[in-house]
A and B are shown apart, each in its own frame.
Chain A
Amino acid sequence: DQQVKQNSPSLSVQEGRISILNCDYTNSMFDYFLWYKKYPAEGPTFLISISSIKDKNEDGRFTVFLNKSAKHLSLHIVPSQPGDSAVYFCAASRSGGSNYKLTFGKGTLLTVNP
């Protein structure tokens, strides 16, 4: 039972345009969400996070939006650059017991074409 779902296995975008990566979750207990970026042969690298008390968090070219009622979050990258080409994982966790456990989606492979 996938509690965090990334329904698009891949996304291709032109350099300079916006990349939008989507993530849905089913567990209403999740209240903290993260995006990790992964290059081949490397471990995931933390990118940006958002708490459920917010609906938007921005860091440079990266913005995460959270829609709690729809149990949906998205990562916007503007403008996209070729170096952004990687697999992006959405992850979620919850406060309270076992709050350290991250539940990951399957990832979306982003390709930014020059």
Chain B
Amino acid sequence: GAGVSQSPRYKVAKRGQDVALRCDPISGHVSLFWYQQALGQGPEFLTYFQNEAQLDKSGLPSDRFFAERPEGSVSTLKIQRTQKEDSAVYLCASSLRLAEYTDTQYFGPGTRLTVL
């Protein structure tokens, strides 16, 4: 079946621009996660949704980052007034059940954001 998809795959933004990154999780998956992967680093947790509820946003680096999942399926990560340090690959992952630590997270291909 279809995996997690993300769009756009690549985004170039000028410093100060707003961007919106989209994630389509696997159909029926309850839990959705966003991670940020800087160059040469492993993915770092940003936020977690259980259906439409954002239960954890402790990893969002600043109040310029905002995520939503209004109908419990598609999610959007929005970054306002982008800065150079926001340049990274943004990964979305979903898992089938209410997040349990043994539940496999399935990752999308990521969106590579470059801020000039």
Where the two chains meet, the residues of A that have a C-beta atom closer than 8 Å to any C-beta of B are 4, 32, 36, 41-46, 49, 51, 89, 91, 93-95, 98-107
Contacts and interface: CB of A to CB of B under 8 A. Distances in A.
27 contacts: A4-B42, A32-B101, A42-B109, A43-B91, A44-B43, A45-B107, A46-B105, A49-B104, A51-B102, A89-B42, A91-B42, A93-B101, A94-B101, A98-B58, A99-B99, A99-B100, A99-B101, A100-B95, A100-B100, A100-B103, A101-B45, A101-B59, A102-B105, A103-B45, A104-B43, A104-B44, A106-B42
Nearest to A90: B42
B25 interface: no
A94 B35 CA distance: 17
Binding site secondary structure of chain B: loop
Given A102-B45, A106-B42, A44 B91 contact: yes
B30 to A, nearest CB: 11
Nearest to A42: B109
Contacts of B110: 43
B73 to A, nearest CB: 18
A107 B42 contact: yes
B45 A106 contact: no
